[in-house]
Chains A and B, each alone.
Chain A
Amino acid sequence: MSTDDDDELMRRYARGDMRAFEALYRRHKSALYRYLVRQTRNTETANDVFQEAWSKVITSRERYEPRAQFRTFLFRIAHNCFIDHCRRAAVRIESSGGEDGWEGMLPGSEQDQPDTRVEQAQLTARYRAALATLPAEQRDTFLLYESGLSLDEVASVSAVGPETAKSRLRYAVTKLRAILAPAAEAISAGGAAGAGASGVGSAGVGVIQEPGV
């Protein structure tokens, strides 16, 4: 996927080429939707923001200028849409940390999963809980970075400097690791006892690894 191709697709769509938009949508819909689902922690809200973001892309097709990558352009729109949505709903991002939204995105019912799946689900739930404890800026920076954007792109989307984005990301990673490390070690120890000496959960959930491992 090249940026030039994205820009060309956007220009072609601006000229009325629907196939170009379809190609553009197929490329970026998954990453954007994942970011919004993790950001909103609610599929309904994520769907609304996702649709709104793409609608703004559609309406801004004539004014589009390839100053930055299309992905940055798209995530900035989604980021702003999410902020607008939070303001409209009077939702405090920091205090919204209910588990309701996350429950529906769990891999499946614990009754249908083996024991290892239960452990993975527990880790995932703990991960999401840890994310909810992060300040909004740090969580946003972390989720954008996890969506595949570079630090510069994250800074551009968040409208901050690269150093600010890097600092936010550092705090987010440190806090998440502090929260998740004991649980991960416990799971790792349990997984190792159950699945051998692989050191990795059988469900494929990555465990916290020390640098250099």
Chain B
Amino acid sequence: MTDPEQDEVFEAYLKRRPVLPSLDDRPEPSAALDQKVMAAAREAIGPQRAGVDAAHGAAGGSGGMNRAPRWAVPIALAATILLSLSVVMNVSLNTNRPSPNRDRMADARADVKASAEANAIAESDAAAGVAARAKSPAMAFSKDERRESVSGGIPSNEVVLPGAKVAGVAAPRVPVEAEPAAPAPAPAAEAPEVVASAANRARAAPGAAQVTDALAQSEGTAAADSRVARAASAEDKAALFAKRAGANQPAAKSTAAAPHPTDPKVWLQQIDALRAAGKTEQAAAEMRRFKAAFPGYEVSPPPPAPPDLPK
């Protein structure tokens, strides 16, 4: 059982009120004791202290307040790794992806190639005396068409003739609008036609210069001289084209039994070409087939052979 008075005194004491005489002695550790403790503390961190003092010296002796926090090093490492990875990823992605410069270079190369092909086609057409071909804007192929010709794309209004491709020369493209009424010929039947056309071009090559000259004069352009020069070289190219086409003739022969052209004029031109090539037997056979196919068609007699030629 506690005394209420003592309880009150104790409660007052707990509230830090003076209920007892205070010990006013204020003993302090001596300076020597302070030095001993400090020396022990300094000795304990001796190896670490050198680094800390160096850091303090670098920070201007600011009491270590400028020391980098402990998390700084891992964060810096993580940031460095992340940055490096992003750079590597970016570089690798850009390496695999075509760049705009590369596209531009490919376009330029395609333009050069397409213009060369267009020149060759135009020259061969001019050599063949085909007016429509000669007047067609072969030099003015649009950039898209050139790009498609290089990349393999085909414009929707053109058809590439299969089997007519000659080594080193792009397959000639025949506009579909040129023969709207005629059905698309079968690929196998077109090969002889192309061969004949190439032969015609080869025959007409000597007059190519005159045709080109006429065109240049009619157009009245300043580029006439250059075209003449190109036409002169077109003779050689047309001859080469015909020669290569002739080399492909066996393949065309193998497909000669195939269905004949539906246009009698074209067929007759082929027959004339065979005659001109000295293949009279084959021309006669073709003529027989022609007459069987078009019995009512009036065929003009073949031109008489030159008198000086031996029969």
Contacts and interface: CB of A to CB of B under 8 A. Distances in A.
Interface string A44-61: 001100110011001101
Interface of B: 5-6, 8-14, 17-30, 33-34, 36-38, 40-42, 44-45, 48-49, 51-52, 63-64, 67, 70
6 contacts: A21-B38, A29-B29, A123-B21, A124-B25, A208-B20, A211-B8
Contacts of B18: 206, 209
Interface of A is mostly: helix
A12 to B, nearest CB: 6
Nearest to A32: B29
A128 B21 CA distance: 11
Interface string A105-116: 111000000000
A55 B24 contact: no
Contacts, number: 130
Contact of A18 (B8, B13, B29, B41): B41
Contacts of B25: 105-107, 124
A30 B9 contact: no
* 3 tightest A-B CB contacts, nearest first: A16-B48, A211-B12, A16-B52
B8 A212 contact: yes
Interface residues of A, number: 55
A70 interface: no
B9 A211 contact: yes
Contacts of B33: 47, 50-51
Interface-central residue, B42, B49, B52, by most chain A CB under 10 Å: B52
B42 A180 contact: no
Interface-central residue, B30, B37, B67, B70, by most chain A CB under 10 Å: B37
Interface string A23-41: 0010001100110011000
A173 B18 CA distance: 11
Given A170-B10, A173-B19, A58 B44 contact: yes
Given A33-B28, A177-B20, A211-B17, 13 more contacts: A18-B42, A18-B49, A21-B38, A29-B37, A30-B29, A37-B27, A51-B33, A127-B23, A174-B10, A177-B6, A203-B24, A207-B21, A211-B8
